[in-house]
Amino acid sequence: MTKLKDFVDFAYSLVNMEEVKKGEFPNPKEITFQLDKINHALVQREIHELKNPKEEFQHSDIFELDIIGINFKFIENDSR
């Protein structure tokens, strides 16, 4: 199961790479992930509960989240 923490850890590892720190490798501006239906819904719901816990959850096939300056785009891939 995919968790939001996994993506946050991934973003921090990218930003803190020695090659990025030295300027040898640029930090990405956007990363797109195609997740299966279940993992897509789990991550989206987890984000919703952190950002808007009082609002009703509404599923979306595509959603985006900025994590330390990197735009993470999530697309539901129901062919997996």
Examine residue 49 and state whether it is found in any structural domain, yes or no.
yes
Pick from 20, 18, 39, 38: which is nearest to 28 by CA? Answer: 20
Which structural domain range is residue 68 located in? 4-13+30-76
Bridge partners for 72 per DSSP: 31, 65
Examine residue 24 and state whether it is found in any structural domain, yes or no.
no
Q: Binning pLDDT at 50, 70 and 90, where does residue 80 land?
A: very low
Examine residue 9 and state whether it is found in any structural domain, yes or no.
yes
Tokens for 28?
A: 């990405």
List, for residues 32-43, the tens digit of each pLDDT value: 999 999 999 999
When divided into structural domains, the chain yields a total of 1
List, for residues 51-78, the tens digit of each pLDDT value: 998 999 999 999 999 999 999 999 999 7
